[in-house]
Structure 1
Amino acid sequence: MTTLDHWGGTGRYVDLDGPVHYVDFGGDGPPVVLVHGLGGSHLNWCLLAPHLVGHHRVLAVDLAGFGLTHPEGRGTTVPANARLLDRFLAEVVGEPVALVGNSMGGMISILHAARRPDSVTALALLDPAVPMPLGTRLDPQVALAFGAYAVPGLGRWVLERARRGVSPRRQVKRVLNLVCADSRSVPEEIILASMSLLEQRAEVPGLDEAFLAAARSVVWTGATSRRYYTAMSRVRVPVYLVHGDRDRLVPVTSARAAAKRNPSWRYEEFEGIGHVPQLEIPDVIGERLVAWLAGR
């Protein structure tokens, strides 16, 4: 099944123990696979992909429980989606790729690159979920939300309450206000597409449970920092780590600590940018990625 998407991409489905949706943006050159974060989808990449297709074949996958890849009984934790990514790369792409991961997608991409180095040529991390150094203060709103997600029953109540009587536009804007330093930088077409996706997902069963399982898994993986840092040290491909200094979900001190532990990684920090630089400054990120991938 294929569906035409905006921004020149074609939406497709592949059967990986159930339908998995991805967008093929086309392009010529070595393949790049884009991996979204918690609560994200292929839409997170629609502004960045056009900057890459002149040099690469570009695909964006919807992980299980997100976008148009519905759970269908599959696990949605970090390890489960790492296995899904592994199969996607093997069965859809079929050759080594450059992975570009944001937030949870960055975490999944790190774990995959550490475990399957033969399938990855380079790793670009945009505000990845990485451990917080001791003494780091988390944004109060973020801390409250993830604390609620960890409590059985309370997490689902919080998600349901957040939707009750709230228009799709307001729901989208609320998320953008959290992940962006200035949500006004996000074009209206992304807001409208996000509203449409929200409405498509409204009747799909099990999405709250899928989100909560993924959220708890991200927290657990980050909390077991020794094991996670060990995985980072096993990555043998070039790594480009990008982080916004106004990221409310993953404090910039976390990225600085990860960069310090891995001095071979290239680290770049962007002033006045939040958690999703690919939406906030897609032209800049696209230019940097193309140059970095060409110069490796």
Structure 2
Amino acid sequence: MESPRTLLESVGSSLSAPWGGTSNIADLDGDVHWVDFGGPADATPIVLVHGLGGSHLNWVQVAPLLAQHTRVYALDLAGFGLTQANGRHTGIPANTALLNAFIDTVVGRPVILFGNSMGGMVSALATHARPDSVAGLVLVDPALPLPIRIPDPVVAAQFLVYSLPYLGEQALRLGRRAMTDQELSEQMTNLCFSDPTRADTEVLAAGAALSTIRRNFPGQDSEFLQAARSLLTTLARPREYRKALRNITVPTLLIHGERDRLVSVAAAHCAAASHPHWTTIILGDTGHTPQLEVPDEFNRHALAWLSHTDLIKN
């Protein structure tokens, strides 16, 4: 009989195999699922970090091309994807520490971090905490301190519910019960894409398959909400986060969708103005996950920047 860890690796590989991924489990104060997309070992490796409610699948459309240039890893943060929390915290500080432990233990050398949404915040804070472990930083529609403006009403209502004890848990549980796994996958796409018709059907199917697996994970709603509330707390009291961003000295690329409903492009413009040494690219007619919505354009910009900064050779 296969061990639970072996079974999890098998399940993970079945999800990422169409894009050349191989599933692995690391013991980082508990099991952490990660995917190896391969690639040459003579350049600085890339670690891909997903956002709130995401997983390694958020990167499958860009990882194969990146892996032609360097070794590429993607991990599932605690409470997401195939990494169950199992008693661990899933908030921003805990997952920042987990990311640094992953770099130290699994990769074992300085990396280039790509972080989307909450993963952008985690990647920035990990860089601030351990600048010796990060050679470059790519922030993809990262969670940023928001300028004063009217937020997207659907997003604002959703996060208001997340912030409320008991109501948040009930809303998530009832919403998950009311939808099929395919509908859950499509709902995330509708929220994150400017044009949902751009969604890749194979990625949607893999997301639905992951949702099916996660229905058997106990505590997934409370783990999600712990992360969401930690994210909101960091953004509501952003002084330490702003300080961490100011202190980052490694080469940094900010890529942001102009039509992002979750993190407004105004926040990206503010961040760019505050950090003129960053390279900033605003993608027109693009939402919150450009690596999924416009993967070819995303890779073109990312590879050009990586080559320009000599982090990898194009």
Same fold flag (TM > 0.5): yes
**Residue number in structure 2 paired with 1:255:** 268
Structure 1 residue 203, shift from structure 2 partner: 1.3
Find 1:27's aligned residue among 18, 39, 42.
Answer: 39
Secondary structure of 1:6's counterpart equals helix
**Residue number in structure 2 paired with 1:164:** 177
**Residue number in structure 1 paired with 2:18:** 6
Q: Distance in 1 between matches of 2:291 and 2:198?
A: 11
Q: Distance in 1 between matches of 2:175 and 2:261?
A: 19
Q: Quote the RMSD (CA, aligned, Å).
A: 0.9
Aligned pairs, how many? 295
Greater share of strand residues, 1 or 2?
1
Structure 1 residue 54, shift from structure 2 partner: 1.1
Per-residue CA distance 1:173-217 (angstroms, 9 max, x = gap): 111100111111111100110111000000111110000010011
Q: Distance in 2 between matches of 1:57 and 1:291?
A: 17
Matches within 5 A, 1:1-296: 1=6, 2-3=9-10, 4=13, 5-28=17-40, 29-134=43-148, 136-296=149-309
Q: Distance in 2 between matches of 1:72 and 1:182?
A: 36
TM-score w.r.t. the length of structure 1 is 0.98
Q: Distance in 2 between matches of 1:240 and 1:91?
A: 26
Q: Distance in 2 between matches of 1:125 and 1:262?
A: 13
Q: Distance in 2 between matches of 1:277 and 1:137?
A: 23
Q: Distance in 2 between matches of 1:56 and 1:138?
A: 38
Secondary structure of 2:141's counterpart equals strand
Q: Distance in 1 between matches of 2:208 and 2:27?
A: 26
Q: Distance in 1 between matches of 2:89 and 2:224?
A: 10
Q: Distance in 1 between matches of 2:23 and 2:195?
A: 29
Q: Distance in 2 between matches of 1:287 and 1:23?
A: 23
Structure 1 residue 138, shift from structure 2 partner: 1.1
Q: Distance in 1 between matches of 2:295 and 2:192?
A: 15
Structure 1 residue 150, shift from structure 2 partner: 0.8
TM-score w.r.t. the length of structure 2 is 0.92
Q: Distance in 2 between matches of 1:266 and 1:280?
A: 21
Greater shift, 146-155 or 158-167, is seen at: 158-167
Letter in 1 for 2:299: G
Letter in 1 for 2:172: L
Q: Distance in 2 between matches of 1:30 and 1:287?
A: 18
Structure 1 residue 247, shift from structure 2 partner: 0.4
Q: Distance in 2 between matches of 1:168 and 1:268?
A: 34
Per-residue CA distance 1:136-193 (angstroms, 9 max, x = gap): 2211111111111111100011111212231111111111100111111111100110
Query: Where in structure 2 are there 5+ consecutive unaligned residues?
Result: 1-5, 310-314
**Residue number in structure 1 paired with 2:3:** none
Structure 1 residue 8, shift from structure 2 partner: 0.6
Secondary structure of 2:25's counterpart equals strand
Letter in 1 for 2:280: Y
Q: Distance in 2 between matches of 1:166 and 1:231?
A: 39
Letter in 2 for 1:162: G
Matched-pair identity in %: 47
Structure 1 residue 10, shift from structure 2 partner: 0.2
Q: Is the CA contact (8 Å cut-off) linking 1:51 and 1:283 kept in structure 2?
A: no
